[in-house]
């Protein structure tokens, strides 16, 4: 397909290419798996940067005037009635007693570690104390405080709260910035942002010029970005002696952080929480059994019509629950549990029996307990939705005049999220179903009952097999205590743990830091682009360093895709990739899409992969939804091309004002498509900045209609994510080199095929659940793999041959290996001659 001509022109163009536009590094993020970062290009977080070094008397005057304005505004608010009321509330928080001590400590030390129970007033108060005292002392317009949050929702919610406490709107002195969204103004002095945003900021501005205070919140969570940020900041501190670093943690492991920063002073905010009574599974079973027997004997739930007519069913249910629980307890040998038999824990799976158990305990609370909201900790979005459906079908819990069931999840719209903070009407029981994000970063004040399933979905990384896993696993003791604490905010509470005491005793004290359980590719690329030296040396300075093997895998991957050369230096490609707000492989797709002039569809694929899947799969209409999706993929054997067609169809429908019907008919999420749409635009302008697009923008779509080109670019991006296809009689068997047999997710369009007329699939992601599953795949031909699989610049093509040749040999395709040799020779000649 005109490839030679293209290679020819490319090589010619390459020589005459103008140097890259390095000036405008965008403010960008990673991928959909990372909650933080920002896509929006940033014109600088703080405008007063230029004002930092007053060069003339005029500047000084402006600074003085703005500082004065800030102070006057602060005084006016503090003296107003509303302001007084707010002050009173703020003074009631435990952190207020430590206010002066905190401020003195911060002024006298470069690093301070603050710990205190959730809700004591760290996030909303500490940055605000700093801001207030700076404004008070007339330095208002010179201070610039950045407070990082691990999650978008908390950055947004907290800035709103702090602005309200200051009698302002968000965007005045207090602002926020998260991926794709932000609100800040000329006078913004306190900015809540995700950790990813600050990391990206460091790309442009290694010394954080103009920033006076960095507050890193929720460090106890030990997220990868936070751990990474701490290494960078530790290096930065000697260069910026006046910069203040404040670390805030919800648990008492402050010593760890303090000693990391050479014995930085610690301060603990003694919090007050009401006592919370803990019920382990044993007690919970007693209660729910009581509930079931009492139903049979006294009929005290007589109002549940359905239950009355289905007594038989209830009896069956009871015996099933009792049976399953007892059986599981016995199987896992809990009575004699010891850490050595840790594996036996996996027999005990609350997910399989948990729903009925949760339903029972919720009935018990609603009917027998005092008023107060219930917070249920679940493992993930699927669980939350499934449980919500089950509860809503329940004769009592489904009665909306008595029970209000609210899911709470990071990917919900902010308006929906706000509902969970509101107080329900009298007589209505609020039940919030949440993931572990409700552990520390958000606070629902009226919670009195906590139901804790004991598990959280934890991403982990199997370095030996180089495979990411996402499995529900047991939480730590610290997390369990944290969950329990959520019940005692305003009055004594109750915590129902759906696991036996002996299981709790075996929990780890703290969760393993994320750095030790995730693939490190994006991180390694970032280390290189921030010029932080040798990757392994840099990471060895982390609070807890990742395994050497994980680092090696990541570096090797970056070499395979051509982002790093053999000496671990950033290549031109790597340099471009580090500036794009997506995982390296998606960045590579973007760049190749631009170079091979099929940009439009590639933009859609990359945007789709970095937001989330727009194809909806409602459980009750799964078949319909799947067939709608497969229509888009007809003949293509590609989830990515299905997405491209769905998106294009939607754009067309939008033009005819029928976007909504189109989505409805095809089981697509309009919201996600809109997000994809806006992301595409941003990617396009980022590509413009890199100087990779021709001056004539239509040129980059010369081949966009040609599915082969798009397939080839997808292959180039996703390689080495490749698996071989073997068509059997009635089914397809798939195999990768590292894992052996693998399966496709059922919502992949290729998952339903009984024959795939291509020898290979490239895939975006594989996840180990019980077997290894592939997500989002595209079928490709031999020639595409030969020409686009891998990195022909690596080691003068030899490295590439070794890699690809290894694949071809492994999959017993010697003929291809030979063709490959010929092609390689020709290509080498071609390159030499030019
Ligand atoms: O960060 P930490 O967990 O220590 O507490 P915080 O988030 O600063 O919250 C302190 C107090 O502010 C909470 O106990 C709530 O009473 C209140 N708050 C609120 O009313 N609304 C919010 N959106 C956030 C906090
Ligand atoms: Mg907090």
- Is residue 96 within 8 A of residue 179, CB to CB? The reply is no
How many angstroms is it from 122 CA to the middle of ligand 2? 5
**132 C-alpha to center of ligand 2: Å?**
19
Distance CA 615, CA 655 (A): 21
* pLDDT above 70 coverage of the chain, percent: 77
Name the residue with tokens 């549940």: 304
At residue 349, φ and ψ (nearest 5 deg) are -120, 100
604-650 pLDDT, tens digit per residue, is: 999 998 877 888 877 677 788 888 898 898 889 999 999 999 999 99
Q: What is the pLDDT of residue 122?
A: 94
Say what the pLDDT of residue 52 is: 47
Tell me, using a 6 A CB cutoff, whether residue 627 lines ligand 1: no
The alpha carbon of 218 and the centre of ligand 2 are apart by a number of angstroms equal to 7
Q: For a pocket test of ligand 1, which of 443, 444, 482, 486 has the largest count of ligand atoms closer than 8 A to its C-beta? A: 443
Q: Is the pLDDT of residue 335 over 70?
A: no
ipTM: 0.99
Query: 515 C-alpha vs ligand 1 centroid, how far in Å?
Result: 28
Closest CA to 333 of 321, 354, 348, 319: 348
3-state helix, strand, coil in the chain (%, to 5): 50, 15, 35
Q: Is the pLDDT of residue 290 over 80?
A: no
Name which of 246, 102, 77 is nearest 166 in CA terms.
77
Mean pLDDT of 401-418: 76
Distance CA 20, CA 727 (A): 46
How far apart, in whole angstroms, are the C-alpha atoms of residue 48 and residue 209?
10
Q: What is the pLDDT of residue 562?
A: 86
| CB 122 near ligand 1, within 6 Å | yes
Residue 470 has pLDDT above 70, yes or no: no
Secondary structure element (H or E) that encloses residue 732, with its range: strand 732-736
Read off the DSSP letter of residue 281. Answer: H
pLDDT category, 20, cuts 50, 70, 90? Answer: very low
Is residue 121 lining ligand 1, measured as CB closer than 6 Å?
Answer: yes
Quote the crossing angle between the two packed helices 350-368 and 311-331, to the nearest 10°: 130
Residue 519 has pLDDT above 90, yes or no: no
Residues with CB under 5 A from ligand 2 (ion): 122-123
Cβ of 93 less than 6 Å from ligand 1: yes
Length of the chain: 834
- Identify whether the C-beta of residue 625 lies closer than 8 Å to the C-beta of residue 667: yes
pTM for the model stands at: 0.73
Q: What angle do CA 20, 24, 25 make, to 5 degrees?
A: 95
Candidate from 105-119, 579-593, 760-774, 814-828 with smallest mean pLDDT: 814-828
Looking at the CA of residue 271, tell me the nearest atom of ligand 1: 4
Per-residue model confidence (pLDDT) at position 375: 95
Regarding the beta carbon of 787 and ligand 1, being less than 6 Å apart is answered no
What is the side-by-side order of every strand in the sheet holding 145-149? 181-183, 174-178, 190-194, 145-149, 213-216, 244-249, 111-116, 266-269
What's the rounded Cα separation, in Å, for the pair 238 and 253? 25
- Ligand nearest, relative to CA of residue 417: 1
pLDDT tens per residue, range 213-232: 999 999 988 888 999 999 99
Q: Is the CB of 157 under 6 A from ligand 1?
A: yes
Q: What is the pLDDT of residues 28-83, one digit of tens each?
A: 332 333 333 322 333 333 333 434 454 668 888 888 999 999 999 999 999 999 99
**Cβ-proximal residues to 700 (8 Å cutoff; 6+ apart), any chain:** 593, 594, 597, 599, 693, 694
């Amino acid at each position: 397909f005109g490839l030679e001509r293209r290679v020819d022109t490319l090589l010619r163009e390459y020589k005459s290419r103008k140097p890259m536009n390095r000036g405008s590094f965008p403010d960008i993020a990673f991928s959909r798996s990372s909650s933080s970062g920002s896509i929006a290009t940033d014109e600088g977080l703080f405008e007063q940067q230029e004002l930092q070094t007053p060069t003339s008397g005029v500047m000084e005057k402006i600074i003085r005037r703005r500082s004065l304005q800030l102070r006057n505004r602060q005084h006016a608010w503090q003296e107003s009635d509303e302001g007084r009321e707010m002050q009173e509330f703020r003074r009631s928080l435990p952190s207020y007693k430590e206010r002066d001590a905190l401020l003195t400590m911060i002024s006298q030390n470069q690093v301070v570690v603050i710990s205190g129970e959730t809700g004591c007033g760290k996030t909303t108060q500490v940055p605000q104390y700093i801001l207030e005292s700076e404004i008070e002392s007339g330095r208002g317009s010179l201070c610039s405080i950045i407070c990082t949050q691990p999650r978008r929702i908390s950055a947004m919610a907290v800035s709103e709260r702090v602005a309200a406490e200051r009698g302002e709107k968000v965007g005045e002195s207090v602002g926020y910035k998260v991926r794709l969204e932000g609100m800040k103004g000329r006078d913004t002095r306190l900015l809540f942002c995700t950790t990813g945003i600050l990391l990206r900021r460091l790309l442009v501005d290694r010394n954080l010029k103009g920033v006076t205070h960095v507050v890193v919140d929720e460090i106890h969570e030990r997220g990868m970005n936070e751990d990474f940020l701490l290494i960078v900041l530790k290096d930065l501190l000697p260069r910026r002696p006046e910069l203040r670093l404040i670390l805030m943690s919800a648990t008492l492991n402050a010593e760890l952080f303090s000693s990391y920063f050479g014995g930085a002073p610690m301060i603990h905010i003694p919090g007050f929480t009401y006592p919370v009574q803990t019920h382990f599974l044993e007690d919970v079973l007693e209660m729910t059994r009581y509930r079931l027997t009492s139903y049979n004997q006294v009929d005290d739930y007589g109002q549940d019509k359905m239950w009355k007519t289905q007594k038989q069913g209830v009896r069956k249910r009871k015996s099933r629950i009792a049976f399953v629980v007892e059986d599981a307890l016995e199987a896992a040998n809990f009575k004699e549990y010891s850490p050595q038999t840790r594996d036996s824990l996996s027999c005990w799976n609350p997910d399989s029996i948990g729903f009925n158990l949760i339903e029972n305990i919720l009935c018990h609370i609603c009917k027998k307990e005092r008023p107060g909201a219930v917070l249920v900790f679940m493992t993930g979005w699927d669980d939350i939705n499934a449980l919500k459906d089950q509860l809503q079908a329940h004769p009592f819990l489904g009665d909306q005049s008595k029970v209000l069931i609210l899911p709470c999840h990071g990917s919900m719209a902010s308006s929906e999220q706000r509902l969970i903070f509101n107080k329900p009407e009298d007589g209505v029981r609020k039940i919030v179903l949440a993931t572990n994000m409700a552990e520390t970063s958000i606070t629902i004040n009226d919670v009195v009952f906590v139901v804790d399933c004991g598990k959280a979905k934890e991403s982990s990384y199997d370095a030996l097999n180089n495979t990411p896993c996402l499995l529900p696993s047991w939480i730590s003791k610290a997390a369990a205590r944290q969950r329990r604490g959520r019940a005692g905010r305003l009055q004594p509470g109750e915590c129902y743990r759906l696991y036996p005491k002996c299981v709790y005793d075996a929990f780890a004290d703290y969760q393993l830091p994320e750095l030790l359980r995730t693939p490190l590719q994006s991180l390694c690329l970032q280390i290189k682009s921030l010029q932080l030296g040798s990757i392994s040396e840099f990471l060895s300075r982390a609070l807890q360093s990742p395994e050497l093997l994980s680092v090696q895998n990541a570096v090797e991957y970056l070499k395979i895709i051509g982002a790093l050369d053999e000496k671990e230096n950033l290549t031109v490609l790597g340099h471009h990739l580090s500036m794009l707000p997506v995982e390296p492989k998606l960045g590579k797709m973007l760049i190749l899409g631009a170079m091979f002039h099929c940009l439009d569809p590639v933009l859609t694929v990359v945007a789709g992969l970095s937001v989330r899947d727009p194809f909806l799969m409602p459980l009750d209409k799964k078949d319909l939804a799947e067939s709608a999706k497969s229509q888009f993929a007809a003949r293509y054997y590609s989830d990515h091309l299905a997405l491209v067609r769905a998106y294009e169809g939607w754009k067309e429908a939008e033009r005819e004002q029928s976007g909504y019907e189109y989505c409805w008919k095809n089981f697509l999420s309009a919201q996600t498509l809109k997000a994809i749409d806006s992301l595409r635009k941003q990617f396009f302008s980022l590509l413009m900045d890199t100087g990779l697009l021709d001056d004539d923008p239509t040129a980059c779509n010369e081949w966009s209609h040609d599915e082969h080109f798009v397939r080839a670019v997808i292959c180039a991006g996703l390689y080495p994510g490749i698996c071989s296809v073997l068509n059997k009689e009635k089914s397809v068997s798939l195999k990768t080199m590292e894992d052996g047999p693998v399966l496709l997710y059922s919502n992949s369009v290729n998952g339903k095929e009984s024959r795939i007329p291509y020898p290979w699939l490239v895939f975006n992601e594989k996840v180990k659940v019980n077997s290894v599953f592939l997500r989002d795949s595209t079928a490709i031909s031999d020639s595409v793999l030969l020409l686009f699989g891998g990195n022909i610049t690596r080691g003068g093509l030899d490295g590439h041959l070794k890699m690809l040749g290894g694949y071809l040999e492994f999959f017993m395709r010697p003929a291809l290996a030979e063709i490959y040799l010929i092609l390689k020779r020709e290509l080498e000649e071609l390159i030499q001659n030019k």
